Structure formats: C-alpha cells, structure tokens
Structure 1
Amino acid sequence: MEIRDAHFPGRAPVDAYGGGGFRFADMSHKGSILCLPSGIYGWNIAAASDLSLARFQKVFDETGDIEVLLVGTGPDLCPLPADIKAAFREAGILADPMSTGAAVRTLNVLLSEDRAVAAALIAVE
C-alpha cells in the first residue's frame, strides 16, 4: 500500500472546522492544513508551541504568490516567534496570527475577493 502526503490541488474555501480537522471541497481532513496557492496540504503540527521556520517551508516555496499568510494558532491567539515573523517580513509576506476560527473566516473572505492569501491552520477540537 502506498501512503502519500495529503494534498488537494487547488484553492477552496474551508467549509467547516473542529473535531480535530477541516472540511473543504466536499472532502474532510483530520489534522492541521496549509492552504496555499498550489493547493491544500496536510500539515504535521498539533499546537502553536510546535511552530518553527522548517514547518513553513512549503509557504516559503510559494513566496511570490502570497502577500498575506493567516496563521491559525489553535483555539486561542498565540504570537509568532520573532524569528518566524522576521523571516516572513524578509520574504515580503505579512504573517498574521489569530485563532484558527478567525483565520478560517478571514481566509474565506479573502479567497472570495481573489486575494493573494494563504493560511496555516492548526486543527482544533
């Protein structure tokens, strides 16, 4: 049996979140996700305390297509570590941390406006 990383090849609003996962494009995903211009990917992170530069590599790979990165840090807002904020600033991306619920709502609005937005969303129960 072949096990592949989760990936949806396109942009889609998030229809629902909670229960440890997300629903989008008539699909569901258990765990955290990265919503990028190239698609929606499973993201191996469970808590804001696990955030590191390495965990955002897929985002940095698409720097030219992203102006704003919404970072859903779980049930509560957690500030981004200084090194992560500095790296995004240097890449020309505004990284905006907020609770996952707020990030999902903001992502959906910005997608409907066809903005250059991405989101890193930590799953919540």
Structure 2
Amino acid sequence: MSEPKYSGFLPGKHVIEAYGQGGFRFGGMSHKGSILALPSGISAWSVHTPDEIDVTSLASVFQEPKGAIEHLLVGTGQALVPLSAALRQALREAGIVAEPMTTGAAANTYSILLREDRLVAAALLAVP
C-alpha cells in the first residue's frame, strides 16, 4: 500500500494557487481548513479564528531555523484583525516581522514574495 501524497504536511515551498470555500490549493492539491506555509513545508493548522492566533498556535514558526523567516504574513480571515502585543513582541525577538492582513491578501502576497525568493512564511485562516 502506498503512502498518501498529503497527510497534513507537504514538504517544501509552494505558492498558494487558490483560496476560499474553506480551504486552499497548493502543490497541485487541495486542503480544507487553515494552513501554515513555512520554509520547511505547508501543514494543516488547527486554528479557526483570529483570537486563536498566539505564540502557542504559531509554535512551528518559532521552530524553523533562525533566519529562515524574515516576514510572517498572517491571514486573519475576511477582515483584518491586529495581532496581540505579546505575539508581535515574541516574533520581533525571533527576528520576524509579522504582518496581519485579510487571508486573501496574505495568500496572494505570500505567493509573490515566495516567487521572489524572499524569506517569508504565512499563517492563513481558511475563509468561506
């Protein structure tokens, strides 16, 4: 029996091909739910609302090698929701600039910056 192509983690860097309808397309496949797009790969993210975005839910971001991420685009859903001061401070101490924006803007910006070979990551809440 072969392993599934995607089991909640797809190694490598992949542009976001599409978003909406509760999920995302990337790497030639689709995923329902929120995602973390990191230099190490794209993984399912169990966060559903902006108030769940914190240091704990972004632990994978802090586990990436130091210097691998300069910008973290945070897609907060259909509306822009500011990040907490504590989260912004923790990211700043890790050398990461966090930029909250709507999920659509974050997904599009992430793909552009990734194509430019920038040190970028994205935390994207699924939107309808």
TM range (shorter): over 0.9
The aligned amino acid for 1:26 is: G
How far off its partner does 1:5 sit? 5.7
Amino-acid identity (%): 54
Question: 2:114: which partner in 1?
Answer: 111
CA distance in 1, matches of 2:92, 2:54: 15
2:30 counterpart of 1:28: yes
Deviations 1:55-85 (A, max 9, x none): 0100001142000000000001000011000
Name structure 1 gaps, 5 residues minimum.
none
Matches within 5 A, 1:1-125: 6-62=8-64, 63-125=66-128
Please state whether the residue corresponding to 2:43 is helix, strand or coil: strand
The aligned amino acid for 1:107 is: Y
Deviations 1:15-57 (A, max 9, x none): 1100110001110000000000000000000010111210010
CA distance in 2, matches of 1:85, 1:28: 30
Name structure 2 gaps, 5 residues minimum.
1-5
CA distance in 2, matches of 1:51, 1:59: 12
CA distance in 2, matches of 1:14, 1:33: 10
Count of matched residue positions in the alignment of Structure 1 and Structure 2: 122
Write 1 or 2 for the structure with the bigger share of helix.
1
**How high is the TM-score relative to the length of structure 1?**
0.94
Deviations 1:61-113 (A, max 9, x none): 11420000000000010000110000001111000000000001100110110
CA distance in 2, matches of 1:5, 1:48: 25
